[in-house]
Every structure is written in structure tokens, then in C-alpha cells.
């Protein structure tokens, strides 16, 4: 039986970030786990256009040495959410120091 698309998406993210898929039915934990990240993967047919436009705007305005992110904020929430392309996160994770034995 072929994998469901959301399972393939989780495996894809785990592979790109050097982690492992940990969302096994009946177990608790993130969809993907790395040394530094607990990742929840949400797979959808389409993302809202305004989300993609926000990130495209950031990318267009960034210089070559900057990583583009879009910060999403709701009224009353001072923390917000950071959105970036998976390929940019992959570069950052690849640059992080590894523990001995990894």
C-alpha cells in the first residue's frame, strides 16, 4: 500500500533537515525530530497566496547575505510566527554544530 502524501511530506522534511520521522501512531512527539528542532509538518494542497507573497516580498528585499523570513503576528500576540523556506532552514541546520557521536 503506497504511503499517504502527508507521510511522504514528513519523510521528505526529515531527510532534508537531517532528522527522523518520529510521529509514529500511538506515540507522542513531533512529526520530525532533529538535534535542535521539533518539527510539525502540515501538508495541504495549497497554501494561502498572501503567505507566499509575504515571503516573496522578504526574499526580494533581502540582500545576498540575508535569510528571508516573514513574521506573522496576530493582534494581542507579541510573539508571532516566523515563516521561511525549507531550503533556507536546511542551510541553517547544516551550519549548526553537531554533538560528538552524531
**pTM recorded for the entire structure:** 0.81
From residue 21, alpha-carbon distances to 26, 83, 86 in Å are: 14, 21, 16
Residue pLDDT, tens place only, 47-74? 999 999 999 999 999 999 999 999 999 9
The residue whose grid cell reads 535542535 is: 36
Q: What is the average pLDDT score of the chain?
A: 89
Residue 101 is predicted with a pLDDT of 58
Q: Which sequence spans correspond to the domains of the chain?
A: 1-45, 46-97
Helices (H), ranges, 1-102: 5-17, 49-61, 86-95
pLDDT digits (tens, 9 = 90+) for 74-83: 999 999 999 9
Candidates 43, 71, 68; CA nearest to 56 is 68
Q: Band of the pLDDT at 102, cuts 50, 70, 90? A: low
3-state helix, strand, coil in the chain (%, to 5): 35, 10, 55
Amino acid at each position: 500500500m503506497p504511503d499517504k502524501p502527508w507521510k511522504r511530506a514528513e519523510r521528505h522534511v526529515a531527510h532534508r533537515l537531517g532528522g527522523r520521522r518520529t510521529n509514529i501512531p500511538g506515540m507522542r512527539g513531533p512529526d520530525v525530530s532533529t538535534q535542535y528542532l521539533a518539527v510539525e509538518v502540515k501538508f495541504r494542497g495549497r497554501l494561502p497566496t498572501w503567505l507566499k507573497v509575504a515571503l516573496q516580498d522578504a526574499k526580494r528585499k533581502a540582500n545576498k547575505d540575508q535569510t528571508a523570513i516573514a513574521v506573522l503576528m496576530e493582534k494581542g500576540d507579541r510573539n508571532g510566527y516566523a515563516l521561511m523556506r525549507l531550503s533556507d532552514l536546511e542551510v541553517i541546520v547544516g551550519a549548526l554544530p553537531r554533538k560528538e557521536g552524531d
